[in-house]
Amino acid sequence: MRTKSLIIVGFVILFVIFGIASAMQWQYSQEIKEISEYHKLMSIPSITVLQHIKMNFQEMHMANMQLINDGLSEKQEIEFLEKYEKSKAELNKNIESYYSIAYSTSPNGEYLASQETQEQIVDCVSMIRQSVDNHDKIFEQYQNNEIPRTEIVTLLEEAEIDFHKVIDKNSSMEVTAMEIIQSDVYGIEENMKTVFMGSSIIAFVTAVSVISFTSRFVSKPISGLIDTTKKIAVGDFTKMDTTSLNSDVNEIADSLNKMSAELENYKSKIIMQEKLSSIGELSSRLAHDIKNPLTVIKVSLDVIKAKNPNLQPDDLEKFERINAAMYRITHQIDNVLDFIKGKPMKFVKHPIKDILESVLADLPKSDKITVEIVSEDAEIECDFEAMKVILINLAVNAMQAIEGMGEIKITSKVRGDKVTIQVENNGPSIPEDKLEKIFEPLYTTKEEGTGLGLASCKSLVEQHNGRIIAENNPTRFIIELPSKMKH
Protein backbone atom coordinates (compact mmCIF):
# COMPACT_ATOMS: atom_id res chain seq x y z
CA MET A 1 0.00 0.00 0.00
CA ARG A 2 2.82 2.41 0.95
CA THR A 3 4.71 1.79 -2.20
CA LYS A 4 1.54 2.17 -4.16
CA SER A 5 0.76 5.44 -2.39
CA LEU A 6 4.21 6.79 -3.18
CA ILE A 7 3.76 5.84 -6.81
CA ILE A 8 0.37 7.58 -6.85
CA VAL A 9 1.81 10.67 -5.17
CA GLY A 10 4.69 10.61 -7.61
CA PHE A 11 2.35 10.56 -10.60
CA VAL A 12 0.22 13.29 -9.03
CA ILE A 13 3.34 15.40 -8.63
CA LEU A 14 4.27 14.69 -12.24
CA PHE A 15 0.76 15.58 -13.36
CA VAL A 16 0.93 18.90 -11.50
CA ILE A 17 4.40 19.64 -12.81
CA PHE A 18 3.42 18.82 -16.35
CA GLY A 19 0.21 20.80 -15.98
CA ILE A 20 2.10 23.89 -14.84
CA ALA A 21 4.78 23.38 -17.48
CA SER A 22 2.16 23.00 -20.23
CA ALA A 23 0.38 26.14 -19.09
CA MET A 24 3.64 28.08 -19.18
CA GLN A 25 4.51 26.55 -22.53
CA TRP A 26 1.10 27.62 -23.87
CA GLN A 27 1.74 31.13 -22.54
CA TYR A 28 5.10 31.24 -24.27
CA SER A 29 3.52 30.01 -27.51
CA GLN A 30 1.01 32.87 -27.27
CA GLU A 31 3.88 35.33 -26.83
CA ILE A 32 5.58 33.93 -29.92
CA LYS A 33 2.28 34.19 -31.79
CA GLU A 34 2.03 37.83 -30.77
CA ILE A 35 5.58 38.42 -32.01
CA SER A 36 4.75 36.72 -35.31
CA GLU A 37 1.63 38.90 -35.54
CA TYR A 38 3.79 41.97 -34.96
CA HIS A 39 6.06 40.89 -37.82
CA LYS A 40 3.08 40.32 -40.08
CA LEU A 41 1.15 43.52 -39.29
CA MET A 42 3.92 45.96 -38.36
CA SER A 43 7.56 45.23 -39.23
CA ILE A 44 7.26 43.67 -42.69
CA PRO A 45 4.57 46.13 -43.98
CA SER A 46 6.63 49.07 -42.64
CA ILE A 47 9.80 48.12 -44.51
CA THR A 48 7.82 47.22 -47.65
CA VAL A 49 6.03 50.59 -47.70
CA LEU A 50 9.33 52.44 -47.12
CA GLN A 51 10.82 50.67 -50.15
CA HIS A 52 7.78 51.66 -52.24
CA ILE A 53 8.15 55.28 -51.09
CA LYS A 54 11.81 55.15 -52.08
CA MET A 55 10.98 53.82 -55.54
CA ASN A 56 8.17 56.40 -56.03
CA PHE A 57 10.52 59.24 -55.14
CA GLN A 58 13.20 57.86 -57.47
CA GLU A 59 10.69 57.82 -60.34
CA MET A 60 9.75 61.46 -59.56
CA HIS A 61 13.41 62.44 -59.43
CA MET A 62 14.17 60.70 -62.73
CA ALA A 63 11.20 62.44 -64.38
CA ASN A 64 12.46 65.84 -63.15
CA MET A 65 15.97 65.08 -64.39
CA GLN A 66 14.55 64.25 -67.83
CA LEU A 67 12.49 67.48 -67.89
CA ILE A 68 15.69 69.50 -67.49
CA ASN A 69 16.84 68.37 -70.96
CA ASP A 70 16.43 71.08 -73.62
CA GLY A 71 15.98 68.54 -76.41
CA LEU A 72 12.59 67.24 -75.23
CA SER A 73 9.57 67.66 -77.48
CA GLU A 74 6.31 68.99 -76.13
CA LYS A 75 4.86 65.46 -76.18
CA GLN A 76 7.82 64.11 -74.22
CA GLU A 77 7.50 66.88 -71.65
CA ILE A 78 3.82 66.02 -71.18
CA GLU A 79 4.68 62.31 -70.79
CA PHE A 80 7.33 63.02 -68.16
CA LEU A 81 5.01 65.41 -66.31
CA GLU A 82 2.31 62.72 -66.29
CA LYS A 83 4.80 60.17 -65.03
CA TYR A 84 5.90 62.62 -62.34
CA GLU A 85 2.33 63.29 -61.19
CA LYS A 86 1.48 59.58 -61.14
CA SER A 87 4.60 58.74 -59.09
CA LYS A 88 3.88 61.59 -56.68
CA ALA A 89 0.29 60.41 -56.19
CA GLU A 90 1.52 56.89 -55.43
CA LEU A 91 4.18 58.31 -53.10
CA ASN A 92 1.59 60.31 -51.13
CA LYS A 93 -0.61 57.23 -50.94
CA ASN A 94 2.27 55.13 -49.59
CA ILE A 95 3.19 57.87 -47.10
CA GLU A 96 -0.37 57.74 -45.77
CA SER A 97 -0.13 53.94 -45.57
CA TYR A 98 3.10 54.19 -43.59
CA TYR A 99 1.50 56.73 -41.26
CA SER A 100 -1.48 54.42 -40.66
CA ILE A 101 0.87 51.51 -39.84
CA ALA A 102 1.97 53.43 -36.74
CA TYR A 103 -1.53 52.95 -35.36
CA SER A 104 -2.08 49.33 -36.43
CA THR A 105 -3.84 47.25 -33.81
CA SER A 106 -3.74 43.61 -32.80
CA PRO A 107 -6.84 41.37 -32.94
CA ASN A 108 -7.39 42.47 -29.32
CA GLY A 109 -7.61 46.11 -30.37
CA GLU A 110 -4.27 47.13 -28.79
CA TYR A 111 -1.68 49.26 -30.61
CA LEU A 112 1.14 47.10 -31.95
CA ALA A 113 3.69 49.93 -31.86
CA SER A 114 4.86 51.58 -28.67
CA GLN A 115 4.32 55.29 -28.18
CA GLU A 116 8.02 55.91 -28.91
CA THR A 117 7.79 53.94 -32.18
CA GLN A 118 4.64 55.82 -33.16
CA GLU A 119 6.39 59.14 -32.58
CA GLN A 120 9.39 57.97 -34.64
CA ILE A 121 7.13 56.97 -37.55
CA VAL A 122 5.24 60.28 -37.39
CA ASP A 123 8.56 62.18 -37.36
CA CYS A 124 9.78 60.12 -40.31
CA VAL A 125 6.59 60.87 -42.28
CA SER A 126 7.09 64.57 -41.56
CA MET A 127 10.73 64.46 -42.74
CA ILE A 128 9.77 62.49 -45.88
CA ARG A 129 7.14 65.06 -46.79
CA GLN A 130 9.58 67.88 -46.10
CA SER A 131 12.20 66.25 -48.35
CA VAL A 132 9.66 65.81 -51.16
CA ASP A 133 8.48 69.42 -50.77
CA ASN A 134 12.09 70.63 -50.84
CA HIS A 135 12.75 68.61 -54.01
CA ASP A 136 9.62 70.07 -55.66
CA LYS A 137 10.47 73.59 -54.51
CA ILE A 138 13.94 73.39 -56.09
CA PHE A 139 12.47 72.23 -59.41
CA GLU A 140 9.77 74.92 -59.24
CA GLN A 141 12.44 77.60 -58.68
CA TYR A 142 14.29 76.27 -61.74
CA GLN A 143 11.13 76.49 -63.82
CA ASN A 144 10.67 80.08 -62.64
CA ASN A 145 14.27 80.83 -63.70
CA GLU A 146 15.26 81.47 -60.06
CA ILE A 147 17.96 78.79 -60.27
CA PRO A 148 20.34 78.58 -63.25
CA ARG A 149 20.66 75.38 -65.28
CA THR A 150 24.26 74.96 -64.11
CA GLU A 151 23.10 74.52 -60.50
CA ILE A 152 19.77 72.62 -60.78
CA VAL A 153 21.26 69.12 -61.26
CA THR A 154 23.50 69.45 -58.20
CA LEU A 155 20.67 70.82 -56.05
CA LEU A 156 18.26 68.06 -57.11
CA GLU A 157 20.85 65.36 -56.43
CA GLU A 158 21.54 66.83 -52.98
CA ALA A 159 17.80 66.80 -52.27
CA GLU A 160 17.70 63.18 -53.46
CA ILE A 161 20.56 62.24 -51.12
CA ASP A 162 18.78 63.92 -48.18
CA PHE A 163 15.61 61.96 -48.98
CA HIS A 164 17.46 58.62 -49.09
CA LYS A 165 19.09 59.41 -45.74
CA VAL A 166 15.64 59.81 -44.17
CA ILE A 167 14.34 56.55 -45.71
CA ASP A 168 17.50 54.58 -44.88
CA LYS A 169 17.45 55.85 -41.30
CA ASN A 170 13.90 54.65 -40.71
CA SER A 171 14.49 51.38 -42.57
CA SER A 172 17.43 50.75 -40.23
CA MET A 173 15.14 51.49 -37.28
CA GLU A 174 12.64 48.87 -38.53
CA VAL A 175 15.37 46.27 -39.11
CA THR A 176 16.79 46.95 -35.64
CA ALA A 177 13.32 46.49 -34.17
CA MET A 178 13.05 43.13 -35.93
CA GLU A 179 16.40 42.07 -34.49
CA ILE A 180 15.29 43.10 -30.99
CA ILE A 181 12.09 41.08 -31.41
CA GLN A 182 14.15 38.11 -32.57
CA SER A 183 16.21 38.44 -29.38
CA ASP A 184 12.95 38.40 -27.40
CA VAL A 185 12.03 35.11 -29.08
CA TYR A 186 15.40 33.72 -28.07
CA GLY A 187 14.78 34.85 -24.47
CA ILE A 188 11.39 33.14 -24.45
CA GLU A 189 12.97 29.94 -25.68
CA GLU A 190 15.59 30.17 -22.94
CA ASN A 191 12.80 30.53 -20.35
CA MET A 192 11.06 27.52 -21.83
CA LYS A 193 14.25 25.54 -21.55
CA THR A 194 14.62 26.53 -17.89
CA VAL A 195 11.04 25.53 -17.08
CA PHE A 196 11.26 22.13 -18.65
CA MET A 197 14.73 21.37 -17.36
CA GLY A 198 13.41 22.09 -13.88
CA SER A 199 10.45 19.80 -14.40
CA SER A 200 12.82 17.08 -15.59
CA ILE A 201 14.93 17.37 -12.42
CA ILE A 202 11.88 17.08 -10.16
CA ALA A 203 10.58 14.17 -12.20
CA PHE A 204 13.96 12.45 -11.76
CA VAL A 205 13.47 12.45 -7.98
CA THR A 206 10.06 10.79 -8.48
CA ALA A 207 11.00 8.13 -10.99
CA VAL A 208 13.70 7.45 -13.56
CA SER A 209 11.14 6.24 -16.04
CA VAL A 210 9.21 9.51 -15.81
CA ILE A 211 12.46 11.41 -16.39
CA SER A 212 13.14 9.41 -19.51
CA PHE A 213 9.64 10.06 -20.80
CA THR A 214 9.86 13.76 -20.00
CA SER A 215 13.22 14.07 -21.73
CA ARG A 216 11.87 12.44 -24.87
CA PHE A 217 8.54 14.28 -24.86
CA VAL A 218 9.66 17.79 -23.87
CA SER A 219 13.38 18.49 -23.62
CA LYS A 220 14.41 17.35 -27.08
CA PRO A 221 11.72 19.35 -28.90
CA ILE A 222 12.58 22.44 -26.87
CA SER A 223 16.26 22.04 -27.67
CA GLY A 224 15.29 21.80 -31.32
CA LEU A 225 13.34 25.06 -30.99
CA ILE A 226 16.32 26.76 -29.40
CA ASP A 227 18.71 25.48 -32.07
CA THR A 228 16.31 26.64 -34.78
CA THR A 229 16.02 30.08 -33.20
CA LYS A 230 19.81 30.40 -33.03
CA LYS A 231 20.08 29.41 -36.69
CA ILE A 232 17.44 31.97 -37.67
CA ALA A 233 19.30 34.62 -35.66
CA VAL A 234 22.45 34.11 -37.77
CA GLY A 235 20.57 34.03 -41.09
CA ASP A 236 20.07 30.27 -41.51
CA PHE A 237 16.32 30.19 -42.23
CA THR A 238 15.88 26.50 -41.55
CA LYS A 239 12.58 24.71 -40.90
CA MET A 240 11.63 22.60 -37.90
CA ASP A 241 9.89 19.27 -37.98
CA THR A 242 6.26 19.67 -36.85
CA THR A 243 5.52 15.99 -36.25
CA SER A 244 6.41 15.96 -32.54
CA LEU A 245 4.11 14.20 -30.10
CA ASN A 246 3.83 17.51 -28.24
CA SER A 247 1.21 19.59 -30.06
CA ASP A 248 2.29 22.81 -28.29
CA VAL A 249 5.82 22.37 -29.56
CA ASN A 250 4.40 21.76 -33.04
CA GLU A 251 2.42 24.98 -32.75
CA ILE A 252 5.53 26.93 -31.75
CA ALA A 253 7.57 25.22 -34.46
CA ASP A 254 4.89 26.10 -37.01
CA SER A 255 4.98 29.76 -35.89
CA LEU A 256 8.78 29.76 -36.13
CA ASN A 257 8.64 28.15 -39.56
CA LYS A 258 6.19 30.79 -40.81
CA MET A 259 8.27 33.60 -39.33
CA SER A 260 11.47 32.10 -40.79
CA ALA A 261 9.89 31.80 -44.25
CA GLU A 262 8.65 35.40 -44.12
CA LEU A 263 12.05 36.70 -43.04
CA GLU A 264 13.86 34.70 -45.73
CA ASN A 265 11.44 35.86 -48.41
CA TYR A 266 11.68 39.47 -47.31
CA LYS A 267 15.48 39.34 -47.12
CA SER A 268 15.57 38.12 -50.74
CA LYS A 269 13.16 40.87 -51.77
CA ILE A 270 15.26 43.57 -50.09
CA ILE A 271 18.43 42.34 -51.80
CA MET A 272 16.69 42.22 -55.19
CA GLN A 273 15.05 45.64 -54.68
CA GLU A 274 18.42 47.16 -53.81
CA LYS A 275 19.97 45.67 -56.96
CA LEU A 276 17.11 46.83 -59.18
CA SER A 277 17.07 50.25 -57.53
CA SER A 278 20.77 50.65 -58.30
CA ILE A 279 20.14 49.64 -61.89
CA GLY A 280 17.31 52.15 -62.13
CA GLU A 281 19.45 54.98 -60.82
CA LEU A 282 22.31 54.24 -63.19
CA SER A 283 20.41 53.21 -66.31
CA SER A 284 18.57 56.49 -66.81
CA ARG A 285 21.85 58.39 -66.64
CA LEU A 286 23.86 56.00 -68.78
CA ALA A 287 21.25 55.33 -71.49
CA HIS A 288 21.30 58.90 -72.77
CA ASP A 289 25.10 59.16 -72.62
CA ILE A 290 25.57 55.85 -74.48
CA LYS A 291 22.83 56.07 -77.11
CA ASN A 292 23.85 59.51 -78.41
CA PRO A 293 27.43 58.46 -79.28
CA LEU A 294 26.07 55.26 -80.86
CA THR A 295 23.80 57.35 -83.08
CA VAL A 296 26.72 59.56 -84.07
CA ILE A 297 28.83 56.49 -84.93
CA LYS A 298 26.03 54.92 -86.98
CA VAL A 299 25.34 58.13 -88.93
CA SER A 300 29.07 58.62 -89.52
CA LEU A 301 29.43 55.07 -90.85
CA ASP A 302 26.48 55.57 -93.20
CA VAL A 303 28.03 58.80 -94.48
CA ILE A 304 31.40 57.10 -95.05
CA LYS A 305 29.74 54.23 -96.92
CA ALA A 306 27.66 56.66 -99.04
CA LYS A 307 30.74 58.72 -99.96
CA ASN A 308 32.80 55.63 -100.76
CA PRO A 309 30.72 53.37 -103.04
CA ASN A 310 33.79 51.41 -104.15
CA LEU A 311 34.72 49.99 -100.74
CA GLN A 312 36.45 46.62 -100.75
CA PRO A 313 34.68 43.51 -99.34
CA ASP A 314 37.08 43.48 -96.38
CA ASP A 315 36.13 47.06 -95.54
CA LEU A 316 32.41 46.28 -95.87
CA GLU A 317 32.86 43.30 -93.55
CA LYS A 318 34.45 45.60 -90.97
CA PHE A 319 31.49 47.97 -91.27
CA GLU A 320 29.12 45.05 -90.65
CA ARG A 321 31.06 44.02 -87.54
CA ILE A 322 30.82 47.59 -86.22
CA ASN A 323 27.05 47.64 -86.92
CA ALA A 324 26.64 44.30 -85.11
CA ALA A 325 28.57 45.57 -82.09
CA MET A 326 26.44 48.73 -81.96
CA TYR A 327 23.25 46.65 -82.23
CA ARG A 328 24.42 44.45 -79.34
CA ILE A 329 25.08 47.48 -77.12
CA THR A 330 21.72 49.05 -78.02
CA HIS A 331 19.99 45.72 -77.35
CA GLN A 332 21.50 45.51 -73.86
CA ILE A 333 20.49 49.09 -73.04
CA ASP A 334 16.95 48.40 -74.22
CA ASN A 335 16.83 45.26 -72.05
CA VAL A 336 17.60 47.32 -68.96
CA LEU A 337 15.14 50.11 -69.82
CA ASP A 338 12.35 47.71 -70.80
CA PHE A 339 12.69 45.90 -67.48
CA ILE A 340 12.70 49.10 -65.39
CA LYS A 341 10.18 51.46 -66.98
CA GLY A 342 7.24 49.03 -66.99
CA LYS A 343 4.98 51.08 -69.29
CA PRO A 344 1.23 50.26 -69.33
CA MET A 345 -0.04 47.73 -71.84
CA LYS A 346 -2.35 48.62 -74.76
CA PHE A 347 -4.26 45.46 -75.65
CA VAL A 348 -5.54 45.49 -79.26
CA LYS A 349 -6.31 42.65 -81.68
CA HIS A 350 -3.46 42.00 -84.15
CA PRO A 351 -2.84 39.26 -86.71
CA ILE A 352 -0.12 37.01 -85.34
CA LYS A 353 1.52 36.92 -88.76
CA ASP A 354 1.90 40.75 -88.76
CA ILE A 355 3.66 40.61 -85.40
CA LEU A 356 6.11 37.91 -86.52
CA GLU A 357 6.88 39.66 -89.82
CA SER A 358 7.56 42.92 -87.95
CA VAL A 359 9.93 41.01 -85.65
CA LEU A 360 11.73 39.50 -88.66
CA ALA A 361 12.16 42.95 -90.23
CA ASP A 362 13.79 44.36 -87.07
CA LEU A 363 16.22 41.48 -86.44
CA PRO A 364 19.91 42.04 -87.25
CA LYS A 365 20.84 40.56 -90.64
CA SER A 366 23.21 37.58 -90.73
CA ASP A 367 24.69 35.54 -93.59
CA LYS A 368 25.21 32.56 -91.28
CA ILE A 369 21.82 32.33 -89.55
CA THR A 370 18.46 31.89 -91.28
CA VAL A 371 15.19 32.82 -89.59
CA GLU A 372 11.99 31.02 -90.64
CA ILE A 373 8.45 32.04 -89.66
CA VAL A 374 5.49 29.64 -89.68
CA SER A 375 2.27 31.30 -88.55
CA GLU A 376 -1.37 30.28 -88.56
CA ASP A 377 -3.93 32.77 -89.83
CA ALA A 378 -5.31 34.01 -86.50
CA GLU A 379 -5.50 37.09 -84.28
CA ILE A 380 -4.36 37.73 -80.72
CA GLU A 381 -5.30 40.53 -78.35
CA CYS A 382 -2.01 41.94 -77.13
CA ASP A 383 0.31 44.93 -76.84
CA PHE A 384 2.03 44.95 -80.25
CA GLU A 385 5.29 46.55 -79.12
CA ALA A 386 5.54 44.38 -76.01
CA MET A 387 5.16 41.21 -78.08
CA LYS A 388 7.87 42.46 -80.44
CA VAL A 389 10.20 43.10 -77.50
CA ILE A 390 9.61 39.55 -76.23
CA LEU A 391 10.20 37.81 -79.56
CA ILE A 392 13.15 40.00 -80.63
CA ASN A 393 14.83 39.31 -77.28
CA LEU A 394 14.39 35.55 -77.70
CA ALA A 395 15.55 35.61 -81.34
CA VAL A 396 18.63 37.73 -80.60
CA ASN A 397 19.54 35.43 -77.68
CA ALA A 398 19.29 32.48 -80.07
CA MET A 399 21.56 34.25 -82.59
CA GLN A 400 24.14 34.88 -79.89
CA ALA A 401 23.96 31.24 -78.72
CA ILE A 402 24.44 29.73 -82.18
CA GLU A 403 28.07 29.14 -83.08
CA GLY A 404 28.68 29.31 -86.82
CA MET A 405 25.87 28.37 -89.23
CA GLY A 406 22.43 27.92 -87.74
CA GLU A 407 18.68 28.16 -88.02
CA ILE A 408 15.98 29.87 -85.99
CA LYS A 409 12.33 28.91 -86.40
CA ILE A 410 9.46 30.98 -84.99
CA THR A 411 6.08 29.25 -85.09
CA SER A 412 2.59 30.01 -83.79
CA LYS A 413 -0.36 27.73 -83.16
CA VAL A 414 -3.92 28.45 -82.03
CA ARG A 415 -5.83 25.83 -80.09
CA GLY A 416 -9.20 27.01 -78.80
CA ASP A 417 -8.68 30.20 -76.81
CA LYS A 418 -4.93 29.59 -76.38
CA VAL A 419 -2.06 30.80 -78.55
CA THR A 420 1.35 29.11 -78.45
CA ILE A 421 4.40 30.88 -79.91
CA GLN A 422 7.67 28.94 -80.07
CA VAL A 423 11.18 30.24 -80.77
CA GLU A 424 13.44 27.29 -81.62
CA ASN A 425 17.11 27.15 -82.67
CA ASN A 426 19.70 24.48 -83.40
CA GLY A 427 22.30 25.99 -81.09
CA PRO A 428 23.75 24.36 -77.95
CA SER A 429 21.42 23.25 -75.17
CA ILE A 430 20.91 25.25 -71.99
CA PRO A 431 22.57 23.48 -69.02
CA GLU A 432 19.87 21.64 -67.07
CA ASP A 433 20.92 23.22 -63.75
CA LYS A 434 20.35 26.68 -65.25
CA LEU A 435 16.94 26.15 -66.85
CA GLU A 436 15.12 27.14 -63.65
CA LYS A 437 17.23 30.30 -63.14
CA ILE A 438 17.46 31.93 -66.58
CA PHE A 439 14.32 34.02 -66.04
CA GLU A 440 15.58 35.48 -62.73
CA PRO A 441 16.61 39.18 -62.83
CA LEU A 442 20.38 39.78 -63.09
CA TYR A 443 21.07 36.09 -63.82
CA THR A 444 22.96 35.56 -67.08
CA THR A 445 25.09 32.87 -68.69
CA LYS A 446 26.76 35.32 -71.11
CA GLU A 447 29.76 37.48 -70.34
CA GLU A 448 28.27 40.41 -72.27
CA GLY A 449 24.70 39.93 -70.96
CA THR A 450 22.79 42.17 -68.53
CA GLY A 451 20.71 39.40 -66.99
CA LEU A 452 17.51 41.37 -67.62
CA GLY A 453 16.48 40.31 -71.14
CA LEU A 454 14.72 37.06 -70.21
CA ALA A 455 13.44 38.56 -66.94
CA SER A 456 11.83 41.34 -68.99
CA CYS A 457 10.32 38.75 -71.36
CA LYS A 458 8.83 36.82 -68.43
CA SER A 459 7.38 40.01 -66.94
CA LEU A 460 5.78 41.08 -70.24
CA VAL A 461 4.34 37.59 -70.85
CA GLU A 462 2.81 37.52 -67.36
CA GLN A 463 1.25 40.94 -68.00
CA HIS A 464 -0.53 39.21 -70.90
CA ASN A 465 -1.80 36.54 -68.43
CA GLY A 466 0.50 33.99 -70.05
CA ARG A 467 3.56 31.94 -69.18
CA ILE A 468 6.97 31.24 -70.73
CA ILE A 469 9.17 28.16 -70.33
CA ALA A 470 12.49 26.97 -71.75
CA GLU A 471 13.25 23.45 -73.01
CA ASN A 472 16.13 21.52 -74.56
CA ASN A 473 16.45 19.03 -77.40
CA PRO A 474 15.99 21.18 -79.40
CA THR A 475 16.64 24.46 -77.57
CA ARG A 476 13.40 26.43 -77.57
CA PHE A 477 11.33 28.97 -75.66
CA ILE A 478 7.58 28.34 -75.52
CA ILE A 479 5.12 31.15 -74.86
CA GLU A 480 1.49 30.33 -74.00
CA LEU A 481 -1.01 33.20 -74.14
CA PRO A 482 -4.79 33.66 -74.12
CA SER A 483 -6.03 34.78 -77.54
CA LYS A 484 -8.30 37.32 -75.84
CA MET A 485 -7.64 39.30 -72.67
CA LYS A 486 -10.19 39.33 -69.85
CA HIS A 487 -11.15 42.94 -69.11
Residues 341-381 have pLDDT tens digits of: 556 778 888 898 888 888 888 888 877 888 888 888 888 88
Mean pLDDT of 305-323: 77
- Compute and round to an integer the Cα radius of gyration of the chain: 31
**Percent of the chain scored above 70 by pLDDT?**
68
Per-residue pLDDT at 170: 74
Top pLDDT among 463 and 187 is at 463
Q: Do 465 and 482 contact (CB within 8 A), yes or no?
A: yes
Distance between CA atoms of residues 478 and 481, nearest Å: 10
Per-residue pLDDT at 6: 44
Per-residue pLDDT at 40: 67
CATH superfamily of 346-482: Histidine kinase-like ATPase, C-terminal domain (3.30.565.10)
307: confidence class by pLDDT, cuts 50, 70, 90? confident
Structure letter (DSSP) for residue 442? T
pLDDT at 66 over 70: yes
Top pLDDT among 208 and 404 is at 404
1: confidence class by pLDDT, cuts 50, 70, 90? very low
208: confidence class by pLDDT, cuts 50, 70, 90? low
4: confidence class by pLDDT, cuts 50, 70, 90? very low
pLDDT at 276 over 80: no
Domain boundaries, given as residue ranges, for the chain: 2-278, 284-337, 346-482
Give the full edge-to-edge strand order of the sheet including 369-374. Answer: 369-374, 406-415, 418-425, 475-482, 467-471
487: confidence class by pLDDT, cuts 50, 70, 90? low
Top pLDDT among 440 and 134 is at 134
pLDDT at 271 over 80: no
Distance between CA atoms of residues 66 and 305, nearest Å: 34
Type of residue at 228 = T
472: confidence class by pLDDT, cuts 50, 70, 90? confident
Residues 6+ apart with CB under 8 A from 68: 142, 149, 152, 153
Per-residue pLDDT at 480: 92
Residues 80-135 have pLDDT tens digits of: 888 888 888 898 898 888 888 878 877 777 777 778 777 888 888 888 888 888 88
